[in-house]
Amino acid sequence: MNESPFREFWKSCYKNGNFMVGSIMILSVIFIAIFANQIAPYSYTDIHESDILTAPCAQYIFGTDDMGRDLFSRIVFGTRITLEVAIIGAGLQLIVGVLVGLLCGYYGGAADRALTFVADLTWCIPGMIMALAVVTIIGSGLIKAIIAISIVAWAAYARMVRAKTMSIKNMAFIETGRSFGESDWSLMFRYILPNIVPILIVTVSMQLPGTILSTTTLSFLGVGSQPPSPDWGLMVAEGINFVEQGPWMAIFPGLALVYVVLGFNIMGEGLRDLLDPRMKSQ
């Protein structure tokens, strides 16, 4: 009877196949990232000069690249970069998007109209082009690429949070809170925000694949991670030059990327079903 929604939620998680499969995929990536030093047979910078462009074999299970580096080790270390992108990207977008969305939705007025306009504007310009433009201004590098992508992507969060805030702020419990003297700040962060969290979680898991792919694309184009970083995008870019001699160079990092993105997507699907209020009533 007195179970918290959280416990109830976990119970239904077990029953949701999508969520379970997706989170196992993501957890495996996190596991690999943490224990990369133990899992990877070599360092991602170790150069085996005698084994350049070796096809997958017992020693190098994913083969080696044009400089003789073990692809498997590089992909294993690459998980760290991918997760870094996911965490920093989602964090940046969330902080900005939630703040802007909450303030705009709660106060409305001219600031709201201005920010909505800015958010709309970011939707009119193709994201990649804008990100490239930002990178040319602020310079290249992984963190800068993430910032560029986040500048494009925060608007999705802001929109969602704003819309939700506007609908929740008219509910009776907000009025009641105000009637007994709650401050605006407390209404926003104590009353409204916790009620947005479930949908926010879904949005994050749906947005993350996009953020990862876009950042990877920037690395692929050479304005993201710089060599010798084991960034998967960069690895694919390097592999493209050797498609005929060593197709594994592009295939394996590509597959790794697909695995992570698919994991987030499947988990997102599952989360959406889990947090859908219509499913909850039963």
DSSP secondary structure, 230-282, as one string: --HHHHHHHHHTTTTT-THHHHHHHHHHHHHHHHHHHHHHHHHHHH-HHHHT-
CA distance 146 to 20: 28
State which residue, 7 or 124, has the beta carbon closest to other proteins: 7
Residue type, 43: S
Cβ of residue 199: shortest distance to other proteins, in angstroms? 13
By CB under 8 A, is residue 5 in contact with other proteins? Answer: yes
By CB under 8 A, is residue 11 in contact with other proteins? Answer: no
**Binding to other proteins (CB under 8 A): which residues in 120-159?**
none
Cβ of residue 175: shortest distance to other proteins, in angstroms? 6
Cβ of residue 155: shortest distance to other proteins, in angstroms? 26
φ, ψ at 64 (rounded to 5°): -125, 165
Using a 10 angstrom Cβ sphere, with 0-12 exposed, 13-18 middle and 19 or more buried, the burial of residue 100 is buried
Which of 1-9, 124-132, 225-233, 242-250 is the region at the interface with other proteins (rule: CB under 8 A)?
1-9
Cα dihedral sign, 98-101-103-105:
negative
**Binding to other proteins (CB under 8 A): which residues in 176-195?**
176-182, 186, 191, 194-195
Contacting positions for other proteins (CB under 8 A): 1-2, 4-5, 171-173, 175-182, 186, 191, 194-195, 197, 280, 282
